[in-house]
């Protein structure tokens, strides 16, 4: 008998949805603010900054388009990094503290999820670094929010 193939969940669903991303960013920015290398970059951040980043990550990983609806999407995201003069050392540390936080709050640790998760963080943080350099200008028509999917498929339910 032919069985219907079920679609794998989105990375957003696999991670635990909105609540998981909110927990991730809330814990992350508490650590960031106390960090000597990257804390000063965020000294003036809005109280809702962790919420904005949670919306952003959720949307990238296949969740609701909350960042686009509430904050203006990819163009706004890029603009927030213009002229921040980030260093490679700060970028790499930002990623490593975020991954440390992912472990702490118990985001899925399976190889397939983490491969996709790290891949976006590497890409996104390198874009942030690049656009943060002095003199970078952006056009009006930036692409929509990036969308990340599985790189290696998660284990499928093979029950007939
Ligand atoms: C995948 C990588 C990244 C993502 C998804 C991301 C996401 C965001 C988001 C959503 C905002 C807030 C935009 C808003 O107000 O709507 C933001 C702002 C900001 N980001 Fe990033 N970011 C990334 C990488 C980085 C890195 C590597 C650094 C520094 C090491 C950085 C530094 C900042 C700073 C300083 C702000 C402004 C904070 C303020 O409002 O004062 N970002 N980022």
Kindly write down the DSSP assignment for every residue of the chain, as one continuous string: ---PPPPPPPHHHHHTHHHHHHHHHHHHHHHHHT-TTTGGGGTT--TTHHHHHHHHHHHHTTS--HHHHHH-HHHHHHHTTTT----HHHHHHHHHHHHHHHHHTT----HHHHHHHHHHHHHHHHHHHHHTSTT----S-PPPPP----SSPPPP----
Protein residue with least CA distance to atom 38, ligand 1: 45
Ligand 1 site residues (CB inside 6 A) read 38, 41-42, 44-46, 49, 52-53, 56, 71, 76-77, 80-81, 84, 86, 90-91, 94, 121, 124-125, 128
pLDDT of 160 above 50: no
Ligand 1 centroid – CA 109 distance (Å): 24
For position 114, what pLDDT does the model report?
97
Ligand 1 centroid – CA 5 distance (Å): 38
What CATH number belongs to 11-131?
Answer: 1.10.490.10
Atom nearest to 56 CA in ligand 1: 10
Summarised one tens digit per residue, pLDDT across range 38-74 is: 999 999 999 999 999 999 999 999 999 999 999 999 9
Please classify residue 19 by burial: count the beta carbons closer than 10 Å to its beta carbon, then call 0-12 exposed, 13-18 middle and 19+ buried.
exposed
Ligand 1 centroid – CA 142 distance (Å): 17
Confidence grade of residue 76 (pLDDT, cut at 50, 70, 90) = very high
Tokens describing residue 153? 């498929």
Summarised one tens digit per residue, pLDDT across range 101-129 is: 999 999 999 999 999 999 999 999 999 99
For position 2, what pLDDT does the model report?
53
Confidence grade of residue 139 (pLDDT, cut at 50, 70, 90) = confident
Confidence grade of residue 157 (pLDDT, cut at 50, 70, 90) = low
Confidence grade of residue 159 (pLDDT, cut at 50, 70, 90) = very low
Q: Does 76 appear as a known binding residue?
A: yes
Confidence grade of residue 7 (pLDDT, cut at 50, 70, 90) = confident
CB-CB neighbours of 49 under 10 Å = 15
For position 154, what pLDDT does the model report?
82
Atom nearest to 120 CA in ligand 1: 1
pTM listed for this prediction: 0.94
> Distance between CA 22 and CA 39 in Å, rounded?
19
Summarised one tens digit per residue, pLDDT across range 20-41 is: 999 999 999 999 999 999 999 9
Protein residue with least CA distance to atom 13, ligand 1: 77
> Distance between CA 85 and CA 70 in Å, rounded?
26
**Residue 111 or residue 3, greater confidence:** 111
């Amino acid at each position: 008998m032919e069985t219907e193939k079920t679609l794998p969940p989105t990375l957003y669903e696999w991670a635990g949805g909105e609540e998981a991303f909110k927990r991730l960013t809330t814990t992350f920015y508490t650590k960031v603010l106390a960090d000597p290398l990257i804390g000063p970059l965020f000294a003036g951040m809005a109280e809702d900054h962790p919420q904005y980043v949670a919306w952003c990550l959720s949307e990238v990983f296949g969740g609701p388009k909350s960042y686009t609806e509430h904050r203006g999407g990819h163009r706004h995201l890029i603009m927030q990094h213009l002229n921040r003069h980030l260093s490679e050392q700060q970028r790499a540390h930002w990623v490593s503290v975020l991954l440390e936080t992912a472990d702490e709050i118990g985001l899925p640790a399976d190889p397939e999820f983490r491969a996709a998760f790290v891949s976006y963080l590497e890409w996104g943080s390198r874009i942030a670094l690049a656009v943060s350099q002095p003199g970078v200008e952006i056009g009006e028509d930036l692409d929509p929010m990036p969308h990340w999917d599985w790189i290696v498929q998660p284990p499928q339910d093979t029950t007939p």
